[in-house]
Amino acid sequence: EVQLVQSEVEVKKPAESLKISCKGSGYSFSSYWIGWVRQLPGKGLEWLGMIYPGDSETRYSPSFQGQVIMSADKAISTAYLQWSSLEASDSAVYYCVRSGPTYYHSVDVWGQGTTVTVSS
Amino acid sequence: DIQMTQSPSTLSASVGDRVTITCRASQSIDTWLAWYQQKPGKAPKILIYKASSLQSGVPSRFSGSGSGTEFTLTISSLQPEDFATYYCQEYKTYSRTFGQGTKVEIK
């Protein structure tokens, strides 16, 4: 079974750093793009960007370029999303998703989501 | 950036109704469009990809159509488990923009 399992709830203070994880299983992790999606409380879905674990090529949405950093460790089938300095407005649920082996593929698998709360 | 506009934002319907949701793109995305369903507190799941291809395991009452800039998701006979929020998403560009969502409520 193809699965993406994410790290659990994170509670942080403003200006702190954070790195959340997404571990893939049941498929060739290196060969499929991994994307990240944000959902603010009570709001819709926003695409942050995606990474190809095979060579760590990244494609950020223009709206999120410079706001987050995506990385991946193909040896342990894990992708990461990180912030260097959190703000309260980063409080949201973050989903990692599997896209296809090439560019023109929709998302077919979703992680369970990581809830990030940033509060002083 | 491509803008994706869904209509309506909210839809009230009864079990057994035929339901249609529209998604419009601000420029042509060919057929690079997917539809997702999200229930409260859960991750979304894919229903339709490439505008009209039904994802494996998704009931046949769901169907998608369209190309270019106008797309529709149709539920032929609404079931109790279909009350949820539906999102379209383009995947022609790196922005992978989502529509704002359509909430299907019980009438």
Residue range A50-104, pLDDT digits in tens: 999 999 999 999 999 999 999 999 999 999 999 999 999 999 999 999 998 888 8
Torsion of CA A96, B84, B58, A107, to 10 degrees: -20
Q: Determine the distance in angstroms separating the CA of A35 from the nearest CA of chain B, rounded to an integer.
A: 10
Edge-to-edge, what's the strand order for the sheet holding A3-6?
Answer: A3-6, A18-25, A78-83, A69-73
Structure tokens at A41: 């409380």
Q: What is d(CA A91, CA A12) in angstroms, rounded to the nearest whole number?
A: 9
Q: 3-state DSSP call for residue A85?
A: coil
Of residues A44, A46, A113, nearest to B43 (C-beta) = A113
Edge-to-edge, what's the strand order for the sheet holding B33-38?
Answer: B10-13, B102-106, B85-90, B33-38, B45-49, B53-54
Question: By the 8 A CB rule, do B103 and B83 touch?
Answer: no
Q: What percent of chain A has pLDDT over 70?
A: 100
Query: pLDDT value at position A103?
Result: 83
Chain A residue at shortest CA distance from B95: A61
Chain A interface, Cβ < 8 Å to B: 35, 44-47, 49-50, 59-63, 95, 99, 104-108, 110-113
Of residues A44, A106, A107, nearest to B101 (C-beta) = A44
pLDDT in tens, A29-65: 999 999 999 999 999 999 999 999 999 999 999 999 9
pLDDT in tens, B32-59: 999 999 999 999 999 999 999 999 999 9
